[in-house]
Amino acid sequence: MKSYTFRISSPVHTVSIDNVVKAIVRTTAGDIGILAGHVPYSSVVKQGTVKLTLEDNTVKEYSVSDGIIKVADNIVTVLTQTID
């Protein structure tokens, strides 16, 4: 399965995760699933958990506050105030 890079940025730090094959992110439009090659997309992110599945099937979860998401050119970026 193809993979991509997922970045979560806050004013304090940035987390960059390579080899992501699937992400689930809560937006104002509902939960969205993102795979490699996703069409360009942007939306408002709601506070909640970002769930990432990596190539080796490990799952990473990050709690984020409200923010925005941008998907373009196999890079997903979430801008938020806090990351836990």
**15 has a pLDDT exceeding 90:** yes
- pLDDT tens, 33-79? 999 999 999 999 999 999 999 999 999 999 999 999 999 999 999 99
Range of the domain at 27: 4-80
Q: How many alpha carbons fall within 13 Å on the CB side of residue 14?
A: 10
Q: Can you give the pLDDT at residue 11? A: 96
One-letter identity of residue 72? A
Q: Can you give the pLDDT at residue 1? A: 80
pTM for the full predicted model: 0.94
Strands (DSSP E) contained in the chain are 4-9, 14-27, 30-35, 41-45, 48-54, 59-64, 67-72, 75-80
Indicate the number of domains in the chain: 1
CATH number at residue 47: 2.60.15.10
Q: Can you give the pLDDT at residue 82? A: 96
